[in-house]
Amino acid sequence: MRVLLTGAAGFIGGAVRHELESAGHDVVGIDLMLPEAHGQSVTPPGVLRLDVRLAAGESAWASALEGVDVVCHQAAVVGAGVTVADLPAYASHNDLGTAALLAAMAARGVRRLVLASSMVVYGEGRYRCAEHGVQRPGTRPVAALTAGRFDTPCPVCGGALDWAAVPEDARFEPRSAYAASKVAQEHYAAAWARQAAGAAIALRYHNVYGPGMPRDTPYSGVAAMFRSSLERGEAPQVFEDGRQTRDFVHVEDVARANAAALTAVATAAQEHVSAYNVASGHPITIGEVAALLGAGSGITPETTGGYRLGDVRHIVASPARAEAELGFRARISPAVGLPAFASSPLRESHQLV
Ligand code: UD1
């Protein structure tokens, strides 16, 4: 298939490009090469410098979308956002960027889309009380966090809650500008699919890590931060009690999920829209992540008891739907991938990466 890949020079886009080309697809890679993400790096060979926010009538779209069967949209400003001043960047690159891309696709009759979404659309994960079933505990009060009570109790009985895997039909509850922009992208894709007889698959990535991950910034995920601390000979700072749980999925598995989604969307019915968690299926605590990354370094991670107000406690996905419907199953477990990541190269990062 001929695939237009946006964000082709990025951490995930680069891995997707490699995977799609290895599978024999004809990939047209575009990237804005945002200085905030790429610094002064030159555009990689084979990648075209193009802004997805271009108006649909612009001639650059003619060559980029010529003969394209599927668009794989990875270009985005990522991270959780640090200040309110970041909001326009998310709205511009992620919301407007997706809307403009969809308009250009509609203008040129391209009707298939794979969209990079994120588990952040869910907000907190899923919780279950032994007595009262599934509960939504809400945000954690500052007083509880300060007192070191990181797990929220059942809102009905005050008893303990256990986390459970989040299915794709869980309610959207975006809590950051980035999360809001990912929800918006999914909604734009659904509107486009209805109006332009298109088909779209959204892939909700969990915590992605792997070679080429951007070096730590306030916008980086925790794996890059721990990895960078170790490189400096410093102990990774594990917040809370280290028992908060996530799913760390290797970037090569994310690339394979994209390849599976491309195949599925190519033959999907018109107006078909679906979303899939992309996860390893091996939940892990942040304390365990620090220990796996630090193993062999002689450095012991430090559990600080500190917290970030915006953090959720546990978010773990069910990978079942992606396996059943896309035939995608992650191959690299964190027990293998994280120790290997401890010595793989990172990329220089700048601001919003
Ligand atoms: C992260 C990303 C989010 C992305 C999602 C899925 C960020 C800021 N968040 O969400 O955008 O969509 O993965 O890929 O990029 N922690 C420490 N020590 C540190 C930093 C963090 O213990 O130095 C802890 C945090 O308190 C949190 C956990 O690690 O409990 C995960 O943090 P992080 O990777 O930043 O955010 P996620 O919520 O998992």
∠ Cα 48 31 208 (to 5°): 140
Q: Rounded distance, CA 279 to CA 135, Å?
A: 23
Q: Which helix (H) or strand (E) holds 278?
A: strand 273-278
Q: Rounded distance, CA 211 to CA 15, Å?
A: 9
Question: Going residue by residue through the chain (353 aa), what tens digit of pLDDT does each one get?
Answer: 999 999 999 999 999 999 999 999 999 999 999 887 887 788 889 999 999 999 999 999 999 999 999 999 999 998 766 678 889 999 999 999 999 999 999 999 999 999 999 999 999 889 999 999 999 888 899 999 999 999 999 999 999 999 999 999 999 999 889 999 999 999 999 999 999 999 999 999 999 999 988 876 656 789 999 998 999 999 999 999 999 999 999 999 999 999 999 999 999 999 999 999 999 999 999 999 999 999 988 999 999 999 998 899 999 989 999 999 999 999 999 999 999 999 887 877 654 43
**Does the C-beta of 279 come closer than 6 Å to ligand 1?**
no
3-state secondary structure 45-94: CCEEECCCCCCCCCHHHHHHHCCCCEEEECCCCCCCCCCHHHHHHHHHHH
**Does the C-beta of 222 come closer than 6 Å to ligand 1?**
yes
Measured in Å, residue 221 CA sits from the centre of ligand 1 at: 5
- Which residue has a Cα nearest atom 13 of ligand 1? 207
Measured in Å, residue 310 CA sits from the centre of ligand 1 at: 10
Kindly state the tokens that stand for 11: 């951490």
Measured in Å, residue 119 CA sits from the centre of ligand 1 at: 11
∠ Cα 4 347 23 (to 5°): 35
Ligand 1: atom nearest CA of 307 is 26
pLDDT of residue 80: 64
Measured in Å, residue 67 CA sits from the centre of ligand 1 at: 39
**Does the C-beta of 178 come closer than 6 Å to ligand 1?**
yes
**Does the C-beta of 181 come closer than 6 Å to ligand 1?**
no
Measured in Å, residue 197 CA sits from the centre of ligand 1 at: 37
- Which residue has a Cα nearest atom 27 of ligand 1? 311
